[in-house]
Amino acid sequence: MNASPADQRKLLDIAQLDARVRQAEQARSNPPQAARVQELLAQRQTQSGELTRLLGVRDDARAELSRIEADVAVVDARAKRDADRLAAATNPKDAVGLEHEIASLERRKSALEDAELDVMERLEAIESEVAAQEALVAQTNDEGARLSAEGKQAVAEATAVLDTARRDRDAIAGTVAADLLAMYERLAARGVGAGLLHRRTCEACRMVLSGTDLQQLRQVREDEVATCPECGAILVRTDESGL
C-alpha cells in the first residue's frame, strides 16, 4: 500500500490518542478509589452488624434495669405501707408479723439493689462499647463518602479526557487516506496499529530490529507503507530511524 509520509506520521498521533482513549475508558470504568470503596462497604456491613448486636445487649440491660427499679419501687411501697400499719398496730401478734415482713422486704430490697448495681455496671460497659462501635461506623462512613466523592471526580475528569481524545482522534483520522486508516484500524484491533521506527527500534513493540530486517526496510520506498517484522504494526520512518 502506498501512502504519503505525512499521512503515515499522522498515524502516530492517532495511535497516541487511541492509547489515551483506552486509559481514559479504564479510569472511568474503574477509578482508583473503587476497590477501597467496596472494602469499606463490606467493612461497614460487618461493623453495623456488630453495632446492632451491641444495641440489643444495651436495650436488654436497660430493660432489666427498669424491671429492677420497678421492683424496688414496689418493695419500697410495701415497706412504707407495713411501717405505717406497724406504727398503728395494737395487736402484738400483728406487730410481729409486720416486723417479719418488713425485715423480709429489706432483704429483698438489698438483693435488688445489688442486682441493680451489677446491671448498672454492665450497662456502663456496654454503653462504652456502643459508643466505640458507633465511632468506627462513623469513621468508615466518612472515609467512604470522601472516596466516593473523589471517585466521582476522577470519573468526571476521565470522561473529559476521553471526550477530548475522541474528538481529536476523529479530527485527525478525517484527514488520513481511507485505505491507510482502514489498515491501521485493522492492526490496532489486535494490538498497536502504528509505531515510530526510532534508532532501529520499533516503538510499537520496543523490539530492536535485526540487520536483515533493517536492510529490507531500506528497500521500501518512502511513500510505501512498511510494517514491523516483529509485531506487524505500521512502521513510521523518519530521519532518526537508523536506516
147-195, pLDDT tens digit by residue?
999 999 999 999 999 999 999 999 999 999 999 999 999 999 998 999 9
Q: How far apart are CA 25 and CA 148, in angstroms?
A: 18
Q: Which three cell numbers stand for residue 108?
A: 429483698
Average pLDDT over residues 46-65: 97
3-state secondary structure 136-180: HHHHHHHHHHHHHHHHHHHHHHHHHHHHHHHHHHHHHHCCCCHHH
- Nearest alpha carbon to residue 44 among 147, 144, 150, 148: 144
15-32, pLDDT tens digit by residue?
999 999 999 999 999 999
b vs e for 68-104, b when ≥16 Cβ sit within 10 Å of the residue's Cβ? beebbeebeebbeebeeebeebeeeeeeeebeebbee
Domain with CATH 1.10.287.1700 in the chain: 30-154
Whether pTM > 0.75 for this model: the answer is: no
Q: In this structure, which amino acid lies at residue 183?
A: M
b vs e for 41-52, b when ≥16 Cβ sit within 10 Å of the residue's Cβ? eebbeebeeebe
- CATH architecture under which domain 30-154 falls: Orthogonal Bundle (1.10)
Average pLDDT over residues 31-41: 95
At 240 the pLDDT is 87
